Amino acid sequence: MSSLLSAYKKMFLIRTAEQEIAALYIKNKIMSFVHFYIGQEAVAVGVCDALEKNDKVLGNHRSHGHYLAKGGDLKKMICELLGKENGSSHGKGGSMHMIDKSVNFVGSTPILGSVVPLACGTAFEQKYNKKHDITAAFLGDGAFEEGVVYETLNLSALFKLPLLLVVENNLFAVNSKIKDRRSENYDIQKIVTGFGANYVKADGNDYDDVFNKAKKLLQEVRAGKPAVLECITYRHMAHSAPIFEEGYREEDTPEKREERDSVKRMRRKLLESGVSEEAVSSIEEEVKKTVADSIEFALSSDYPKKESLYTDLYAS
Ligand SMILES: Cc1ncc(C[n+]2csc(CCOP(=O)(O)OP(=O)(O)O)c2C)c(N)n1
């Protein structure tokens, strides 16, 4: 399978899985808050495709896409959302606390910005032990305003840590717009480069742009120059509910989202590059079946037993 087709398959998997998760959410099957990633797929897949297998990834409250893009198991993820024993955190973490060391997904944490110093810690370990690996952490534009991010940028540049911060700028933090949160002089590029890290902006709705820029940036990250990759994108759904509410969004209209939709854009690109409609459709059918099977597996899985209530709470 070509690398573009394989990237499309991952993006389509994330999209389809989330659509089905939305349906489960409406049926009250989900045990935790869910923040939908629909619209942002090109960021997770573009960045994770540019990473090596041993590189580490950390995420935030909106991390289904990051986990799946890093090679996470869909069955384990859906079980986790349903609070089942077979979940990636044995059903005790839910959507916002996924962790899966088998694919170097170190974890996701919902306290805004908290993922950044944690990622700094894993990057420090990688450098200290002279590994060739790097750490990538995903955070939103709102989280980027937390003080700990600036402390971490300073420390990472000082210690020359292999750390990539991927800022997914979907224009909103819940329903608060960037222009209501930052002074007109706020300049993310100046801030990041002022600390001594690299900064690159990408079109977060375009897989190729994200992948190519991440790939290039990672060469320097691997050599010890931390970086921020800011990806401009849209989240299609409301902050944490499976609805497409529009009340507060002016610069991010349904028409714009539709026109710049990363998954549809990638599909068009594939067809233009000569891949047949049959080949694309057959991949889509395969993905839909995988998602349906995973949901069936999760629904029929057991909840954790009472005896395991106090296990997995502390590191052993
Ligand atoms: C320290 C902290 N403050 C507030 C919240 C509540 N909260 C959860 S998500 C969110 C908005 C996050 O916006 P952004 O970082 O841009 O990510 P997005 O949701 O847009 O992906 C807020 C305020 C939180 N989780 N942590």
State which residues of the chain have pLDDT below 50: none
127 within 8 A of 96, measured Cβ to Cβ: no
- 141 CA distance to ligand 1 centroid (A)? 9
- 103 CA distance to ligand 1 centroid (A)? 26
Residue 146 Cα: closest atom of ligand 1: 1
What is the second-level CATH architecture of the domain 3-300?
3-Layer(aba) Sandwich (3.40)
The pLDDT assigned to 280 comes to 97
- Is pTM beyond 0.75? Reply is yes
- 148 CA distance to ligand 1 centroid (A)? 14
Question: 76-89, pLDDT tens digit by residue?
Answer: 999 999 999 999 99
Q: How many CB atoms lie within 10 A of CB 267?
A: 18
C-alpha 55/C-alpha 136 separation (Å) is 8
- Report the residue among 40, 61, 181 best suited for mutation to probe ligand 1: largest number of ligand atoms under 8 A from its CB: 61
- Report the residue among 114, 115, 138, 174 best suited for mutation to probe ligand 1: largest number of ligand atoms under 8 A from its CB: 174
Radius of gyration of the chain (CA): 19
C-alpha 135/C-alpha 130 separation (Å) is 13
| 251-to-59, 117, 201, 205, 254 alpha-carbon distances in Å | 26, 32, 19, 15, 10
The pLDDT assigned to 78 comes to 97
- Tell me if 62 CB under 6 Å of ligand 1: yes
- 278 CA distance to ligand 1 centroid (A)? 41
- Report the candidate in 80, 51, 49, 50 with the shortest Cα–Cα distance to residue 63: 80
Residue 202 CA, distance from chain mean position = 15
- 208 CA distance to ligand 1 centroid (A)? 27
For ligand 1, atom 4, the nearest C-alpha belongs to 112
For helices 3-26 and 207-222, angle between their N-to-C axes, nearest 10 degrees = 110
- 173 CA distance to ligand 1 centroid (A)? 6
The pLDDT assigned to 316 comes to 63
The pLDDT assigned to 314 comes to 78
